[in-house]
Amino acid sequence: MPKSDWPELAGAAQQRWNQNAAFWDDYMGEQSNTFHNLLVRPAMERLLAVQPGDSVLDIGCGNGNFSRHLAGLGTRVTAIDGSAEMIDRARKRTEGRAKGGPENGNAGSLDYRVIDVTDSERLVELGRNTFDAAVSNMAIMDMAVIGPMFEAVHGLLKPGGVFVCSLTHPCFQAPYAVRYAEQEDRDGEMIKRFGIKIERYLTPRPFEGLGIVRQPVPQYYFHRPLSVLLTTCFEAGFVLDGIEERAFDDSVKADRELSWANFRETPPMMAVRLRRLD
């Protein structure tokens, strides 16, 4: 199988997140953005299907936006991130908030911890057969090392537990993917087309990019084609039993020419549900 991990870049990737933490937290805030609210969160909620009282591990929790949402549904959340700056921001946003969701009347709980997901030994210390579910929300493509993480999470889940991951779609947001817009005058009718050109896809590779325009420093992304991603999951013992690919519909108006809102047949993200059977 092609290379899927770059341990030599793990430290640098984590340092970039410390540098970008304040900017990302201020930008995403408590309400997140349209991309997360209309594409990511609905897919995650459907695949995760948590119940009050469930114990959930949130891997790469960032500023804790989704962790707090899960706690509000009455779950017991352990939220981890390798960026101490992100965890500090998450804790400050959580102070004084009610943890129980009014929709179910059950109080959840929320425990933030600084744990680098590339450190499988720290993950294992969370306890074998401990969690009903694990979640990684738009973070897999930011992780320099994923193989040991998947193996560790498999053991952390209870038999039958699920690991739900969302990420930028590797088929359409690969390092050499180029979005384009073109216009044609067809017999007096102006026709617009939006598409994506893919130069390379199969070869895994790290690259630098901007998750949000004007963030302090570029972050590292780690491109892995679907075959590499899923084989890594299967080798860790998971089976795949749910998948979503979501794109914007015509209810969302584009604010710029190359906005993903103009690419209604091209999903910029995907989510998968992995299950531990034994």
- 91-101 pLDDT, tens digit each: 999 886 644 44
Calculate the CA 249 to chain-centre distance: 21
* pLDDT value of position 3: 78
Band of pLDDT at residue 174, cut at 50, 70 and 90: confident
Q: Does residue 180 have a pLDDT over 90?
A: yes
Band of pLDDT at residue 179, cut at 50, 70 and 90: very high
Over residues 131-158, the pLDDT tens digits come to 999 999 999 999 999 999 999 999 999 9
Q: Is 260 helix (H, G, I), strand (E, B) or coil?
A: helix
7-170+201-275 CATH, one of 3.40.50.2000, 2.60.40.650, 2.40.170.20, 3.40.50.150: 3.40.50.150
Pairwise CA distance, residues 268 & 261, whole Å: 10
Over residues 36-67, the pLDDT tens digits come to 999 999 999 999 999 999 999 999 999 999 99
* pLDDT value of position 252: 93
All structural domains of the chain with their residue ranges: 7-170+201-275
User: CA angle at residue 218 from 213 to 221, to 5 degrees?
Assistant: 110
Of residues 240 and 105, more confidence is placed in: 240
* Cβ(61)–Cβ(94) below 8 Å: no
Of residues 4 and 46, more confidence is placed in: 46
* pLDDT value of position 95: 84
* pLDDT value of position 96: 60
